[in-house]
Amino acid sequence: MTKLGVNIDHIATVRNARGDRHPDPYLSAKIAIKYGADSITIHLREDRRHIKDKDLMIISSNNQIPLNLEMAATKKMLKIALKRKPDFVCIVPEKRAEITTEGGLDLKKNRKKIKYIVNKLINSKIRTSLFIDPSIKDIKLAKQLGANCIEIHTGKISNLVKNKLNYKKELTKINKCAKYAHLLGLEIHAGHGLDYKTTKILKRINLITEFNIGHFIIGESILYGLKKVIKNFKNILKNK
């Protein structure tokens, strides 16, 4: 069965809005796993805008939680990953001012640095993935750099689908990339901007073995969790 990785960064975003402990990312990770998530993704950004080092420490120390750490290709992050030993790492590009990860890695420009980091992670038995745009050139490079997996950035197709534009060309491109990556022996993941509709479309590509989804899952959870929480409060307020 295709795997679902749940990105809980935005639980931390809400928690940080009050600087307190609620809602707790660790608890959300445990709930997600209990209800069928195959792994938990957290992105420890260089500016620590959502997930903090302490979250990584707590979540990574529970070996019942298969953990995927997203991180920039820097020596500082490598040091943290080697210390915390998540099950998986996904190397992503990172710009300070961006709202979210805006595109795939520039593998050509950063090949030396990425090769070094991939090698260190894999030697430490951490499955390593590179977040790339759907491009044959980048898949070839990802293989040369020694990655175990690629994660295809699905932001473009997600935007096309959401705006009711023709997405067929992008879907064909992703399909071709998946076939090529499979031929090279790479595991194929996909993520970014996915909702129910885009996931249903991309699921047709059987070679994609894992979807990593964050914002939409957390957004839907807020909307559909309201019913229960309002009920709880009404119950509390019912009896004087």
Instruction: Determine the Cα–Cα distance for residues 114 and 97; give it in Å rounded to an integer.
Output: 22
Structure tokens at 31: 């709930």
Q: From the list 11, 147, 181, 213, which residue makes contact with ligand PXP (rule: CB under 6 A)? A: 213
Q: From the list 30, 52, 115, 215, which residue makes contact with ligand PXP (rule: CB under 6 A)? A: 215
Note whether 212 binds ligand PXP by CB under 6 A. yes
Contact stretch for ligand PXP (CB under 6 A) within 73-81, 159-167, 185-193, 230-238: 185-193
Q: From the list 133, 151, 170, 210, which residue makes contact with ligand PXP (rule: CB under 6 A)? A: 151
CB-CB contact of 142 with 134 (8 Å): no
The reply to whether 43 belongs to the active site is yes
Instruction: Determine the Cα–Cα distance for residues 235 and 13; give it in Å rounded to an integer.
Output: 29
- Catalytic option among 10, 43, 50, 153: 43
Q: Would you say 220 or 232 has its CB closer to ligand PXP?
A: 220
Note whether 37 binds ligand PXP by CB under 6 A. no
Structure tokens at 6: 């749940």
Sequence-ordered alpha helix ranges (H) in the chain: 9-18, 25-34, 53-60, 75-84, 111-123, 136-144, 155-162, 168-183, 196-203, 215-238
Note whether 84 binds ligand PXP by CB under 6 A. no
Bridge-based pairing state of the strands 149-153 and 127-132: parallel
The reply to whether 94 belongs to the active site is no
CB-CB contact of 135 with 152 (8 Å): no
The reply to whether 170 belongs to the active site is no
- Tell me which residue of 56, 80, 78, 66 sits closest to 30, measured CA to CA: 66
Q: From the list 101, 148, 198, 199, which residue makes contact with ligand PXP (rule: CB under 6 A)? A: 101
- Return residues touching ligand PXP (CB under 6 A): 7, 9, 43, 70, 90, 92, 100-101, 131, 151, 191-194, 212-216
Q: Which active-site residues does the annotation give?
A: 43, 70, 192
